[in-house]
């Protein structure tokens, strides 16, 4: 654009000089164009410059007024040179760069370093503790607003927290300055043992230490049971380091259950209602404890000793998958004192015997006494039946789908029919088609074609004819 403007200015000055009269009364002869140059060709402007063709215009295949032998080369127009503008040599300007034109590097990232928080003084903290400590003034000063609000509405945790803070205030000031210097957001979320004990006494009866340690369930339970009637509050005095360690760890609660929580729920009066069984996802035993008041107190006392076994059993089932095996300790717990009603038989998947015991009062007590000696055999037989059922289910799925993986759901596999007959597999009890293993090679030898061969039978087993379903009225 600048070049075009300069060119137009130069041409205007040239025309003005040509239009001026020559000193002597004669006009200057017009400038003659070079030889071979057409003054005003077709499509040119009055100044003699060719105009570019419009977009989409039909151009002639052969230029006019030119011989047919080809195009005549036109001489290129030489534009007059524009004098280059040179800045004046000013030593003051050459030494200092112009302030009106500053070039910024936008690609370079700009880093903003936050200003470190000022350190807190232990003298000022003690001054606020003495004057406004019951209202949480020192906690607001040390950037602990939640504790400040708690102290403000509880009058310094009824004075107990204010008294403890007199001795631990240097630790709080040092911790505040350390967190401000490192500027790590994870440090603000870290739980501390001293804070947990301050909330435990006397706010532990309301579960304040559990709310602080993110144990919301136990906190609500303590809130409505007054610290599990004081029993859970006393147990937490010994288990507080474990609670703090677990709160600071990265182990999610959905993978493993807490041993401390299981112990508190089992030993506290909430165990009479089966709280520890609900916690370990033993809903059946939880309901039984709720309606039988901990199976008349016997199961509640037994669970004091066996809750570590229950916890280990639950965590193991989470690792290897859910198992429906029955356990001897649960069977004996149901045998006494509910064995007269056949509860242990219902537990071992023997509903007929359970009903028989219920209406005969444990076969007049005789069957109840015999079950005391044969209980281990009943549990063993029940687990064998469960294993066989699981194994048979997996085999049926693997026959229907060779790519079957245990534990993965594939939906309902449709049954194929050929000519009104149901096709079955002989993978376990007869000749095997290709791709299936033969469990009894000594009975059903395998040929090269992949099918089993049994004398007197064809290689391909006959299809099994499905029995007809009788209609109504036959």
Confidence of residue 423 (pLDDT cuts 50, 70, 90): very low
Q: What pLDDT score was predicted for residue 248?
A: 87
SS3 content of the chain, % helix, strand, coil (to 5): 55, 0, 45
Rounded distance between C-alpha atoms, residue 230 and residue 264, angstroms: 11
Examine the pLDDT at 273 and tell me if it is beyond 60: yes
Rounded distance between C-alpha atoms, residue 257 and residue 307, angstroms: 12
Average pLDDT over residues 236-255: 77
Q: How far is CA 38 from CA 34, 178, 286, in A?
A: 9, 89, 110
Q: Say if residues 210 and 218 touch (Cβ distance below 8 Å).
A: yes
Examine the pLDDT at 27 and tell me if it is beyond 70: no
Q: Say if residues 28 and 16 touch (Cβ distance below 8 Å).
A: no
Examine the pLDDT at 250 and tell me if it is beyond 70: no
One DSSP character per residue, 67-104 reads -TT-PPPPPPPPPPPPPPP-----HHHHHS--SS----
Average pLDDT over residues 162-183: 90
- 59 compared with 194, residue with greater pLDDT: 194
Q: Determine the angle formed by the axes of helices 145-158 and 193-200, rounding to 10 degrees.
A: 40
Report the chain's mean pLDDT, rounded to a whole number: 74
Average pLDDT over residues 7-29: 63
Least confident of 153-167, 180-194, 422-436: 422-436
- 362 compared with 183, residue with greater pLDDT: 362
Q: Say if residues 466 and 421 touch (Cβ distance below 8 Å).
A: yes
């Amino acid at each position: 654009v600048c070049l075009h403007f300069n060119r137009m200015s130069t041409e205007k000055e040239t025309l003005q000089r040509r239009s001026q009269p020559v000193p002597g009364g004669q006009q200057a002869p017009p400038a003659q164009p070079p030889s071979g140059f057409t003054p005003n060709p077709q499509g040119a402007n009055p100044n003699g410059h060719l105009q570019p063709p419009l977009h989409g215009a039909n151009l002639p295949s052969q230029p006019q007024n030119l011989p047919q032998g080809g195009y005549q080369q036109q001489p290129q127009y030489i534009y007059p040179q524009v004098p280059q503008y040179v800045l004046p040599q000013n030593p003051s300007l050459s030494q200092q760069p112009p302030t009106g034109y500053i070039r910024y590097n936008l690609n370079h990232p700009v880093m903003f370093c936050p200003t470190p928080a000022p350190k807190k003084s232990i003298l000022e903290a003690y001054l606020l503790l003495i004057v406004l400590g019951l209202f949480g003034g020192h906690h607001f000063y040390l950037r602990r607003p939640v504790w400040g609000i708690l102290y403000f509405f509880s009058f310094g945790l009824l004075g107990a927290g204010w008294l403890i803070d007199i001795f631990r205030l240097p630790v709080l000031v040092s911790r505040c300055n350390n967190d401000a210097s490192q500027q790590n957001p994870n440090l603000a979320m870290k739980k501390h043992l001293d804070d947990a004990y301050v909330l435990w006494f006397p706010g532990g009866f309301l579960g304040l230490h559990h709310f602080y340690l993110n144990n919301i369930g136990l906190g609500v339970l303590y809130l409505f049971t007054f610290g599990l009637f004081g029993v859970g509050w006393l147990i937490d005095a010994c288990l507080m380091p474990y609670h703090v360690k677990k709160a600071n760890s990265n182990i999610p609660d959905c993978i493993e259950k807490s041993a401390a929580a299981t112990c508190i729920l089992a030993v506290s009066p909430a165990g009479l209602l089966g709280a520890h069984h609900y916690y370990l996802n033993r809903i059946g035993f939880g309901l039984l404890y709720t309606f039988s008041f901990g199976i008349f107190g016997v199961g509640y006392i037994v669970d004091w000793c066996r809750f570590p076994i229950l916890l280990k059993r639950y965590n193991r089932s989470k690792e290897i998958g859910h198992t429906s095996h029955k356990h001897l300790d649960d069977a004996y717990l149901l045998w006494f004192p509910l064995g007269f009603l056949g509860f242990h038989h219902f537990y071992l998947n023997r509903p007929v015997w359970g009903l028989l015991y219920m209406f005969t009062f444990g076969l007049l007590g005789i069957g109840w006494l015999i079950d005391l000696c044969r209980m281990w055999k009943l549990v063993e037989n029940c687990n064998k039946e469960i294993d066989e059922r699981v194994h048979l289910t997996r085999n049926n799925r693997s026959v229907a789908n060779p790519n079957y993986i245990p534990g993965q759901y594939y939906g309902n596999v449709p049954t194929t029919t050929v000519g009104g007959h149901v096709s079955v597999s002989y993978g376990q009890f007869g000749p095997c088609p290709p791709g299936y293993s033969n469990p009894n090679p000594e009975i059903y030898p395998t040929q090269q074609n992949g099918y089993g061969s049994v004398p007197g039978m064809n290689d391909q087993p006959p299809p099994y004819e499905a029995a007809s379903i009788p209609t109504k009225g036959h």
